[in-house]
Amino acid sequence: MRDLEKYKGIIPAFYACYDEEGEVSPERIQMLATHYLEVGVKGLYVGGSSGECIYQTVNERKIVLENVMKAVGGKMTIIAHIAAPSTRDSLELAKHAENLGVDALAAIPPIYFVLPEDAIENYWTSMVEATDLDFIIYNIPQTTGYALSVTLLNKMLAHEQVIGVKNSSMPVLDINTFKLESNKELIIFNGPDEQFLGGRSMGADAGIGGTYGVMPQAYLTLDRYIRHSQMREALDLQNDINKIIFKMVSCQGNLYDVMKYILSLDGLKIGQARLPLPRMVETDFAIAKEAHEMIQKLLTKLN
Ligand SMILES: CC(=O)N[C@H](C=O)[C@@H](O)[C@H](O)[C@H](O)CO
Ligand SMILES: CC(=O)C(=O)O
The radius of gyration of the chain from alpha carbons, rounded to an integer in Å, stands at 18
- 62 catalytic, yes or no? no
Angle at which helix 216-227 crosses helix 284-302, to 10 degrees, equals 40
- How many angstroms is it from 193 CA to the middle of ligand 1? 6
Tell whether ligand 1 has an atom less than 6 A from the beta carbon of residue 142: yes
pLDDT of residue 303: 86
Mean pLDDT, residues 215-242 taken together: 98
Confirm whether 247 is a catalytic residue.
no
The 10s digit of each residue's pLDDT in 193-223 is 999 999 999 999 999 999 999 999 999 999 9
Asked if residues 202 and 219 have their Cβ atoms less than 8 Å apart, the reply is no
Give the homologous superfamily in CATH for domain 5-214: Aldolase class I (3.20.20.70)
Cα 103 to ligand 1 centre (Å):
22
Under 8 Å between Cβ of 73 and 104: no
Ligand 2 lined by 12 (C-beta under 6 Å)? no
ipTM over 0.85: yes
Helix or strand (DSSP H, E) at 121 = helix 117-130
How would you label 176-199 residue by residue, b for 16+ Cβ within 10 Å and e otherwise? bbbbeebeeebbbbbbbbbbbbbb
Q: Ligand 1 within 6 A of 198 CB?
A: no
* DSSP letter assigned to residue 16: P
Specify the pLDDT at position 2: 85
Which of 87, 8, 4, 96 is closest to 47 using CA atoms? 96
Query: What pTM was estimated for this model as a whole?
Result: 0.98
pLDDT band at 53 (very low <50, low <70, confident <90, very high): very high
Instruction: Summarize the confidence of residues 30-55 as an average pLDDT.
Output: 98
Domain boundaries, the chain: 5-214
Distance 190 CA to ligand 1 centre (A): 10
Helix axis angle, 255-264 relative to 284-302, nearest 10°? 60
Mean pLDDT of 164-170: 98
* Protein residue with its CA nearest to atom 3 in ligand 2: 209
Average pLDDT of span 21-36: 98
For 247-260, write each residue's pLDDT tens digit: 999 999 999 999 99
Q: How far apart are CA 228 and CA 211, in angstroms?
A: 23
Q: b/e string for 210-224 if b means 16 or more Cβ within 10 A?
A: bbbbbbbbbbbbbbe
